Amino acid sequence: MSAIPYAATEVPEVLVQRQTPSGRIAMALAVLAMIGVAVMPLWASTGTIRSVLVLCCYIAVAQMWNLLAGYAGLVSVGQHAFMGAAGYALFVLAQTYGVDPFVAVFLSLLVPAALAVPIYLLLHRLDGPYFSIGTWVVAEVFRLTASNLPLVNSGAGMSLRVMKDYSAFERNIAMSLLCAGMLLVTLGGSYWLLRSRFGLALIAMRDNPVAAASQGVNVVRLRFLIYVASAVGCGLVGAIYFMAQLRITPGSAFDPMWANVAIFIVMVGGIGSIEGVLIGSLIFFIADRWFGEYGATYFVVLGLMTLLVALYARTGVWGLISKRWDAPWFPIQRKLVDSYR
């Protein structure tokens, strides 16, 4: 018996193309914008820095929600639970225990990480839409607990008085650097994640969880990891946002407004893409500045727009754009190109 010889097949030489011209331009612009944010005290007034900080918080929270709903299929309406938890952790560490506030910002991230684990183990038992309301209940539990907890001064809230040791200019520098860091971690981190092996698994899971599992993707573990990562990301936003606010109360810390904002931004911008988050954040930020004074009417329009997007244009603005022009800002696809050409 001799082994049947295989015909020598020639493997065609191909290159994997991962970047596109539009991607290179966008990446250069994104790096410039990130540097611009980091050096804000050189060019912007305190008021502008505040506005940019809020915009950065919108982008970061929306991207964290996008990671959950757009890729892991976990629709949470209670991510503000982790923002408030980290915010409170920062205040307790810095104000009560005298930890340096700029160290406490990072230490406080341990709290959402530690809370996210048991919460996910509890909530993942709930089916699809019930999971969402479960996350809302958890946020309510956090709010009511904070209102009853003497450690965080109960319902009266806390002030970050230790910040008075720093001059306004020093605080502006810190806020700008923290903002740039937050964008780097949430947006840059997501982009890096999506381009990695995990990204392939995530995109497969987004398109069809059952098919992804059959291809060897550990959907259960990946969902858990994404939930914890998103909780930590939201915690970072909360810590930075409330550090800038200098004041936290149970009502502001666990404000469902953040869930509304994240859902509006991601749904209108385009779910399952980083570009959509940027577009949605800009739309929301500008609309908030221009129409915020109309109060309730403005929110009626916002709610109806979310409803209409869910009914008629589920891919959002970016979905409509990318259907016409194939020019991704943050390309994540792998394209095989013939190297001889």
Partner 1 sequence: MQWFDALVQGILLGGMYAQYALGMALMFGVMRIVNISHGDLVILLSLIGISIATAWGLGPLPVLVVLVPLAVLMGWVLQKAVLNRVVGSDPLPSLIATFGLSIALQNLMLQIWSANSRSLPGHGIESQSLEIGGIYVGLLPLIVLAVATGLTWCLDLTLKRTRFGRALRAASADVEAAAMTGINPRAVYAMATAAAVGILGFAAVFQALRSTVAPADGPAQLIYAFEAVIIGGMGTVWGAFVGSMVLGISQAIGFRIDPGFGVLAGHIVFLAVLASRPQGLFGKALS
- 199's CB contacts (< 8 A; 6+ apart) are 193, 332
What are 104's two structure tokens? 């406490």
Out of 102, 106, 130, 290, the residue judged to bind partner 1 by CB under 8 A? 130
Which residue from 27, 107, 110, 140 is in contact with partner 1, where contact means CB under 8 A? Answer: 140
Secondary element (H or E) of residue 8: none
13 vs 127, beta carbon nearer partner 1: 127
Binding to partner 1 by CB under 8 A, coded x per residue (else -) over 14-53, reads: ----------------------------------------
Query: What angle (nearest 5°) sits at the alpha carbon of residue 98, between those of residues 96 and 100?
Result: 130
Closest CB to partner 1 among residues 22, 260: 260
User: Nearest CA to 68 among 220, 225, 200, 195?
Assistant: 225
Residue pair 268/319 in contact (Cβ under 8 Å)? The answer is: no
User: Quick check: 209 binds partner 1 (CB under 8 A)?
Assistant: no
| Cα distances (Å, whole numbers) of residue 160 to 126, 157, 164, 310 | 38, 10, 8, 40
Residue 159 binding partner 1, by CB under 8 A: no
Of 58-66, 126-134, 230-238, 327-335, the segment contacting partner 1 by CB under 8 A is 126-134
Which of residues 84 and 134 has its CB atom nearest to partner 1 in the complex?
A: 134
CB under 8 A: which stretch of 33-41, 177-185, 225-233, 296-304 binds partner 1? 296-304
**Residue 269 near residue 279, CB atoms below 8 Å:** yes
Interface with partner 1 (CB under 8 A), residue total 45
For the segment 241-270, give every residue that binds partner 1 (CB under 8 A).
256, 260, 263, 267
**Does residue 128 touch partner 1 according to CB under 8 A?**
yes
Contacts of 206 (CB under 8 A, 6+ apart): 70, 71, 72, 73, 272
Which structure tokens are listed for 288?
């908030």
Residue ranges binding partner 1 (CB under 8 A): 69, 73, 75, 77, 122-123, 125-130, 132-134, 136-138, 140-141, 144-145, 147-148, 256, 260, 263, 267, 271, 296-297, 299-311, 314
